[in-house]
Chains A and B, each alone.
Chain A
Amino acid sequence: MRRKDLLGLDGVSREEITEILDNAMTMRQVLRSSNKKTAHLQGKSIVTLFYENSTRTRMSFELASKYMSAAAANISASASSVAKGETLIDTGVTLDQMGTDVIIIRHPMSGAPALLAKHVRSSIINAGDGMNEHPTQALLDMFTMREHLGDLEGIKVAVCGDVMHSRVARSNIYGLTTMGAKVVLCAPPTLIPPRIEELGCTVAPTIEDACEGADVVMGLRIQRERQQKGLFPSVAEYCDNWEITPERVALAKKHALVMHPGPMNRGVEIASSAADSAQSVINQQVESGVAVRMALLYMFTRKEI
């Protein structure tokens, strides 16, 4: 890995993404073997620093570290401590002093990993910052897609849900367009950020248009607070217009994949009948997540700088 940090997929090349995904293939073999223990990270120290709740991202990083024999530790900070507690820079410098090699950070504010990266020696991996990026999620999504669809060049990926607040959407837009895929977004107009097309994707007028001929139909979580904040009037009306249902998935290609980064709000952005269908790879995404994170940790502890 030639970069110190992975802050996002914006600016990450096709070659780099391919290298990560290739390494993840190897790691998945380890993951699927009966003895999930390698010495890849022996003598390395990995810390997860999470200012937001997370189940799968945090656990997959932690297990990835442990499967590869790293010294792994985690810090949970409450969201309220962001404003009132120790500053992010001070926390980062403290971890640095303890000999940390990689800090994995999740933070409710966009740009926090970038701020941290500027002030520490450790490598920073962004595990989700505000509405900015969630690069490891997009990498695991691409890993899963590649597994089923082969080359990502030319495929159509429909992304439906809360695009506005989604770091998963942004990272997938960057990653997938770099890999030559076509990303089509669909959401209520109040959940589409301005000029998002300029990132290289398109916005479909309806979910039917988005799903039409798609290779992948990906849902994004709709938090119920969005309704309370007045971004759409009711869950029922949301579902009428934007829910991923088997009928809508049927408009996609025959073997199209149904994906979701989790956690799902069943019956809101995705119907259970779609999430649990034979086309769904939502559970596989979780496995891919561990493999991709193992690959990243391996690569970031072997810097070619």
Chain B
Amino acid sequence: MEKMLLRGGRVIDPASGVNQIADLLIENGRVAAIGENLPADGAQVFDAAGKVVAPGFIDMHCHLRDPGLEYKEDLISGTKAAARGGFTGVCCMPNTKPVNDNASVTRYILEKAQWQGSGVHVYPVGAISKGLEGKEMAEIGRMKQAGIIAISDDGKPVTNSNLLRLAMQYADYFNVFIMSHSEDKNLVGDGVMNEGFISTKLGLPGITRAAEEVMIARDILVAEAEGKRIHLCHVSTKGGVQLVREAKKRGVRVTAETAPHYIAATDDWVIGYDSNCRVNPPLREESDRLACIEGLCDGTLDAIATDHAPHHLDEKRVEFHIAASGISGFETAFCVSNTMLVKSGAMTLDKLIELMSANPAKLLGVEGGCLAVGSAADIVVLDPEREVTVDADKFVSRGHNTPFHGKTYFGAVCATIVGGKVIDQEG
């Protein structure tokens, strides 16, 4: 069988506490050995000297736009972009056209990803409610059977608290958990950016932090009352982090993610009305940014997820008010996070890898996120020291919408390996 030897890299595997310069041998798509001076013995040799060998990143939250919105992204371009970003697995949200609220759409996604995708594992997230309308529950059982990993009405909050409660009870039977997009639409109103001094200065309608926090609190309380599990998507505010921290302390089964842009960018980036800075939840303020970093450091926030939301250029080259919300995030996730979290001294690279690989794998209950012997050889090779300047025009993703264009960060993704096969390599 095929063998590959990753030679001389620093193997960092937080799940098994490994951080050492070593060779890593892959056999039959699995990690066969980690050790010094392993014999090549006919294996294809990959020189990883000076690089970091880590479990591939797993993104709990992205939009692949397929079916129906292929002009923004499809399962081919999306999985290629994910591979370029070092991801070996991604969870795609159900707000496609049609919505992934039934087993047929789930199967379509999985089959297309399998036959035409880059090799990155695709874990579809099904809808909580039919058509994301927040009224009737979608066929969670059938979607689970077809292969969904979780449910979410992402992009739209579940306004009806009782629907949320019932979905929690019902989904739990199928061992499916809810990923909540926590947002009170009444509090959002016609807001297009964070409410604060910058929104006042720019004359753009603001979105109060309470729009997010009210629903985070609601979600936590419903989960607590039911004793069920809930995962909170893209937490962006200081108050939101604090609510999760307190809930965890009292034993609520809550987990949460934040996105690279919430730890790297703030609402003053909107000055000049760059529509690439329009995202939902909106870029907040410095105190929120620091709170998200603190939350990642102290374990309040479990994972970094990209909320990769590719859009067509036409949807961004318009007035800020009518520009689509979202950031194409796969290809900047590592360099931005590495710079803001590791280079800044807030955490070790081991911890960052845990947040991007081990923890998401654990939360999702999927393979990967670990390099212990016998694990799936889903691996990313990184050069965390290398300076990279983000060039959106070179994105593999169809979405070139990023506020990071032209900015310089540290950290390159050198290669992405899934099941022992190199699916992306820089150069």
Which residues of A does B touch, CB under 8 Å? 10, 82-83, 87-89, 107, 109-112, 114-115, 129-133, 167, 170, 193-196, 198-199
* Other-chain residue from A82, A87, A131, A198 in contact with B197 (beta carbon distance below 8 A): A198
A229 CB → nearest B CB, Å: 9
Tell me if B203 and A194 are in contact (CB < 8 A): no
B397 interface hit (Cβ, 8 Å): no
User: Are A199 and B322 in contact, CB atoms less than 8 angstroms apart?
Assistant: no
The answer to whether A87 and B196 have CB atoms under 8 Å apart is: no
A208 and B217 CA atoms in complex are apart in Å by 41
Tell me if A132 and B202 are in contact (CB < 8 A): yes
Name B270's closest neighbour in chain A (CB-CB): A111
Interface residues of B in 254-299 (CB under 8 A from A): 272-273
Contact B318 A194 (CB under 8 A): no
Total number of B residues with any Cβ neighbor in A under 8 Å: 20
Least CB distance, A256 to chain B, in whole angstroms: 27
A133 and B197 contacting across the interface, CB-CB below 8 Å: no
In whole angstroms, what is the CA distance A132 to B192 when docked?
A: 14
Given contacts A88-B318, A111-B320, A115-B273, contact A199 B203 (CB under 8 A): no
Residues from chain B with Cβ under 8 Å of A88 in the complex: 318-319
Say whether, besides A130-B204, A131-B204, A193 and B320 are in contact (CB < 8 Å).
no
The 8 tightest CB contacts between A and B, nearest first, are: A111-B273, A132-B203, A131-B203, A110-B203, A193-B200, A195-B197, A109-B321, A109-B319
* 17 pairs, A vs B, C-beta closer than 8 Å: A87-B314, A110-B204, A110-B321, A111-B204, A111-B273, A111-B319, A111-B320, A115-B318, A130-B204, A130-B321, A170-B201, A193-B200, A194-B197, A195-B200, A196-B200, A198-B201, A199-B201
Distance from A112 Cβ to chain B, minimum over Cβ atoms (Å): 5
- Distance in Å from the Cβ of B216 to the closest Cβ of chain A? 21
- Cβ of B206 < 8 Å from any Cβ of A? yes
Are A109 and B200 CB-contacts (below 8 A) given A114-B272, A114-B273? no
Within the assembled complex, what's the spacing in Å between the Cα atoms of A216 and B273? Answer: 33
**Quick one: closest B residue to A171, CB to CB?**
B203
On whether the beta carbons of A194 and B206 are closer than 8 Å, the reply is: yes
Smallest CB separation, B146 vs chain A (Å)? 37
Docked complex Cα distance between A196 and B318 (Å): 27
- Output the nearest chain A residue to B198 by Cβ-Cβ distance: A195
| Most chain B C-beta atoms within 10 Å of own C-beta, residue among A110, A131, A195 | A110
Does B317 touch A at the CB level, under 8 Å? yes
Report chain A residues within 8 Å CB of B202: 110-111, 132
A87 contact from B200, B203, B273, B317, Cβ within 8 A: B317
Nearest B residue to A116, CB-CB: B319
Contacts of A109 in B (CB 8 A): 319-322
- Assess the A167–B203 pair: CB atoms within 8 A: yes
Q: How far is the CA of A167 from the CA of B201 in the complex (A)?
A: 10
Given A114-B273, A194-B195, A83 and B200 touching (CB < 8 A)?
A: no
Judge whether B199 and A193 touch: CB under 8 Å: yes
A193 to B202 CA separation, bound complex (whole angstroms):
11
Query: Is B147 part of the binding interface, using a Cβ–Cβ cutoff of 8 Å?
Result: no
Q: Which residues of chain A come closer than 8 Å to B195, judged between CB atoms?
A: 194
- Distance in Å: Cβ of B267 to nearest Cβ of chain A: 12
CB distance from A81 to the nearest CB of B (A): 12
Q: With A109-B322, A114-B273 in contact, is A195–B196 under 8 Å at CB?
A: yes
Inter-chain contact A110/B273, CB cutoff 8 Å? yes
Contacts of A111 in B (CB 8 A): 202, 204, 273, 319-320
User: Smallest distance from the beta carbon of B314 to chain A beta carbons, Å?
Assistant: 8
